[in-house]
Structure 1
Amino acid sequence: MSLQKIKGSYDAVFSLGHLCLPAMQMKKFNLRPFSGVFDWVGSPQLSKVNQLIQTRFTDFLNMNNLRPDKYLSPTDLYVYDFKYDIGFNHDFKTDKNTLTHLGGYPEVKEKYDRRINRFLEKLSSSKRILFIRTEKSEANFQDVQQLEKILMNMVAHDFQILLIHHKDIQKMTVVKSPFAKVTIVELPNKEIWNENDPYWAKILHRVRLMK
């Protein structure tokens, strides 16, 4: 199997979760000139990501769906969106937010509204977009098929999806994809944050943003 399908130039590259890893790798390889909706949140369920995109993020960050859950550090409060199974690790700072009062909510909501508007605008205007999604193991292929279908209906021009599965393997493997727009790569799951950097370099080689 080949990575050739995802090579070339793009107007935009977006992370679709499930963790911060895609955004971190995009930054390392100069593919992240702006922030995306899913860059710094936990989004373990692809089906929920699909729902968000398909509904154009209806009810995302609705205060009625948010639950302040725990303090992650002296500076960060973890807030959970239970409608979409989204975890906010980095957005609600403890200088304005507590377990009983999200005083910084308006700023967070405004920030994500900007990211949503940019995401939707790029879907309609970009000639070519790359979407990157990681999974802890294997994604449900029905959810992958649904993602491809949703993007086919919403993206005005061309796009590709890079799907990374983290598995108990020793080296990178590019596997056969049953989907026209999806490239599937398996990576070792021993330490996903830095040890796979050489593999990411190979995956994203000759992937670049249009100038």
Structure 2
Amino acid sequence: MGEIKGAYDCIVSLGSSCEPAAHLRRKGLRTFSSPLDWVVSLSLTDVNRLLSSRFAGYMELENMSPVDGNDVFVENEVVMPVKSYFIKDFHYNVISVHDFPVLEGQDWSAVYPGFKSKIELRSQRLLDQLAASRRTLFIRWGSTYEEAAALRQVLGSLTGGEFLILIVNGVDELDGVLNNGWGYPGICSLSIPNRAGDNVTWDYILDGISLM
């Protein structure tokens, strides 16, 4: 873990849920919204494919439809008293959980134009930030060794400077933080308790990490 301590120009959440982004915001370590912050992206292989394409075709309407489940609608990062649809991009297997409000008499796609503009803005901003950053930390909840190695290769083509990757895997019935010792340069892999909203564990993980 000592390798990832230090200051960064840019700290980016790569999913798979809102958890990393929420803790980065809580700790004052997040300066902009990533296109992967408020979605569910269970497969890092699909995220690698998305990054490799530089977000081309991401969240295109013809590839999207509702799936089971709902959450809360979030507008400008403020939770609203409205439920939201789960809308899946079947091309990249990414689910939007906070962007499409459930409104009487209105189809989920009614708000799509505004959503698409927001996603395109966030995607381009991320690409621009990565190209300009001298030192970047990426945080991903949920990854195998092989997926993380592939991610490092992909990120090498997107970043303009040094970068490190923090992999966090939630493990049921685990009480503390374990360093998995993958031995892959530039990647720190940790196992942590599989609990949402675990401020104590994330405070420990993010201790010593700051923005320049």
Give the deviation of 1:75 after TM superposition: 3.0
Give the deviation of 1:178 after TM superposition: 2.7
Number of matched residues?
201
Q: Which residue of 2 aligns with 1:61?
A: 59
CA contact (8 A) 1:97 1:103 kept: no
CA contact (8 A) 1:15 1:22 kept: yes
Give the deviation of 1:52 after TM superposition: 0.5
Q: Which residue of 2 aligns with 1:105?
A: 112
3-state secondary structure, aligned to 2:97? strand
Question: What do the CA deviations read for 1:102-140 (whole angstroms, capped 9, x no partner)?
Answer: 0111100000111101110011100011110012xxx22
* Counterpart selection for 1:42 from 35, 40, 43: 40
Give the deviation of 1:171 after TM superposition: 1.3
Q: Which residue of 2 aligns with 1:145?
A: 149
The answer to whether the aligner puts 1:176 opposite 2:192 as a matched pair is no
* Counterpart selection for 2:84 from 76, 87, 90: 76
Q: Which residue of 2 aligns with 1:33?
A: 31
CA contact (8 A) 2:21 2:37 kept: yes
CA contact (8 A) 2:100 2:108 kept: no
Following the alignment from structure 2 to structure 1, what is the Cα–Cα distance between the partners of residues 184 and 153? Answer: 10
Following the alignment from structure 1 to structure 2, what is the Cα–Cα distance between the partners of residues 56 and 106? Answer: 20
Instruction: With the length of structure 2 as denominator, give the TM-score of the two structures.
Output: 0.89
3-state secondary structure, aligned to 1:155? coil
3-state secondary structure, aligned to 1:104? helix
* Counterpart selection for 2:190 from 172, 185, 189: 185
CA contact (8 A) 1:96 1:103 kept: no
CA contact (8 A) 1:50 1:150 kept: yes
Summarize the Cα distance change of 1:5–1:41 in structure 2 as closer, same or farther, 3 Å threshold. Answer: same
Give the deviation of 1:71 after TM superposition: 6.3
Q: Which residue of 1 aligns with 2:137?
A: 130
Q: Which residue of 1 aligns with 2:206?
A: 204
Following the alignment from structure 1 to structure 2, what is the Cα–Cα distance between the partners of residues 96 and 47? Answer: 37
When the two chains are superposed, the root-mean-square deviation of aligned CA atoms in Å is: 1.7
Summarize the Cα distance change of 1:176–1:72 in structure 2 as closer, same or farther, 3 Å threshold. Answer: same
Summarize the Cα distance change of 1:96–1:116 in structure 2 as closer, same or farther, 3 Å threshold. Answer: farther
The answer for unaligned runs of 5 or more in structure 1 is none
Amino acid corresponding to residue 129 of structure 1 in structure 2: T
Summarize the Cα distance change of 1:186–1:93 in structure 2 as closer, same or farther, 3 Å threshold. Answer: same
Amino acid corresponding to residue 127 of structure 2 in structure 1: L
The list of structure 1 runs, each at least 4 consecutive aligned residues, that deviate by more than 3 angstroms after superposition, is 95-98
Percent identical among aligned pairs is: 30
3-state secondary structure, aligned to 1:87? strand
Following the alignment from structure 1 to structure 2, what is the Cα–Cα distance between the partners of residues 171 and 31? Answer: 23
Following the alignment from structure 1 to structure 2, what is the Cα–Cα distance between the partners of residues 101 and 152? Answer: 37
The answer for unaligned runs of 5 or more in structure 2 is 72-81
Summarize the Cα distance change of 1:96–1:118 in structure 2 as closer, same or farther, 3 Å threshold. Answer: farther
Summarize the Cα distance change of 1:79–1:204 in structure 2 as closer, same or farther, 3 Å threshold. Answer: same
Give the deviation of 1:159 after TM superposition: 0.6
